[in-house]
Amino acid sequence: MTIVGADVASWVTVGVDTHRDEHVAAVLDARGGLLATASFPTTPSGHRRLEEWAQRHGPIEAIGLEGSGSWGAGLCRHLVASGHHVVDVDRPDRRSRHKAGKSDTLDAIAAARAVQAGTAAGIPKSRDGTVETIRVLRLERRSALKARTQAANQLHNLVATAPDELRNELRTLTLTQLVARCTRFRPGNLTNPLEGTKHALRGIARRHHHLSDEIDDLDTTLAPLISNHPVGARLLTIYGVGPDTAGQLLVTAGDNPERLRTESTFAHLCGVAPLPASSGQTHHHRLNRGGDRQANAALYHITLTRLRWHPATRAYAQRRTTQGLSPKDIKRCLKRYVAREIYRALTTTTTTCHP
């Protein structure tokens, strides 16, 4: 929200520590002095009451939300729709909490101070478009994949410990054949361990089959959502990017990719920007283990595809190998190149080809 005709000294900054049932808010004046704190329910009326309460203390310059992507998602949408400048605030680190203590009120004050100090400047995802739909459907798909993998492991474990006659029948089957065979079992007297094992195998196999159908249905639903999205369509034109990786990169950027101001910001978000680790006469960088690990995995899969099939990438890898780089270092360099290309696809209408 643009403040018109207001004295700078009257501006206030709001910090909010978000939770499931209530949000705790703190208001600071322009000099960082605490004006008030209060708690509000996590309901639409509670969001309006929090906004009105904060505005009574002066024109709002910015609002820092801790947890804007989880418990604070609803409040974030309300504040953005009302025209406020909302800043995504990471939770205080353990060292700060060890020194200052921990409470919801202290966390709200810390969020406001982080905004005033400029240590928090991230723009939260808007979560109000097609990408949000893609996110929740991918969450459902990932859950189904995890459950299907668990079912497959349980099938193999049951076969390994089954009575010999059943084990010899099933041990050489592939997973697809095993699922098809076990779904056709007709167990008899369950007091017999053989029949009890068949009953368990049939139930798990049917679960595996149901989860496979669910995953296929989700893939069918997700494909047009990604390909018909303007940014998703651009991503799919990049070498090595498929529907799955494009969907993840869309989710990472959000419905408002313009919040990613530079390609360096996007690289840090994906955890592919090397971090300096120099000391004295030693100058080098270390692996960045932060950022969105799902996005990092997507960039890694794109890199592997290019290393296997893309002539320019293969030539780059060969040249860097002769320069003494290890395969891991080469992949890290390539992920950084790919991140730059992905960023251009997310924020512009054209892309260029890098190794």
pLDDT single digits (tens) 310-347: 999 999 999 999 999 899 989 999 999 999 999 999 99
Evaluate whether 197 touches 170 at the Cβ level (below 8 Å).
no
CB atoms near residue 189 (< 10 Å): 8
Q: What is the pLDDT of residue 353?
A: 43
For residue range 50-94, list pLDDT tens digits in order: 999 999 999 999 999 998 888 999 999 999 999 999 999 987 656
In sequence order, the β-bridge partners of residue 15 are 26, 64
Q: What is the pLDDT of residue 126?
A: 84
Dig out the tokens for 225 from the structure.
């959502």
Q: What single DSSP character describes residue 69? A: T
Higher pLDDT, 137 or 128: 137
The rounded Cα 332 to chain-centroid distance in angstroms is: 20
Dig out the tokens for 155 from the structure.
């099938």
* SS3 state of residue 240: coil
Evaluate whether 13 touches 112 at the Cβ level (below 8 Å).
yes
Most confident of the following: 103-107, 140-144, 281-285, 349-353: 140-144
When pLDDT is cut at 50, 70 and 90, the band that residue 95 belongs to is: low
350 has a pLDDT exceeding 60: no
Evaluate whether 26 touches 109 at the Cβ level (below 8 Å).
yes
pLDDT more than 70, % of the chain: 92
pLDDT more than 90, % of the chain: 76
Torsion of CA 93, 94, 95, 100, to 10 degrees: 90
Predicted model pTM:
0.83
In sequence order, the β-bridge partners of residue 89 are 66
250 has a pLDDT exceeding 50: yes
Q: Which of 1-5, 203-207, 213-217 has the lowest mean pLDDT?
A: 1-5
Evaluate whether 147 touches 213 at the Cβ level (below 8 Å).
no
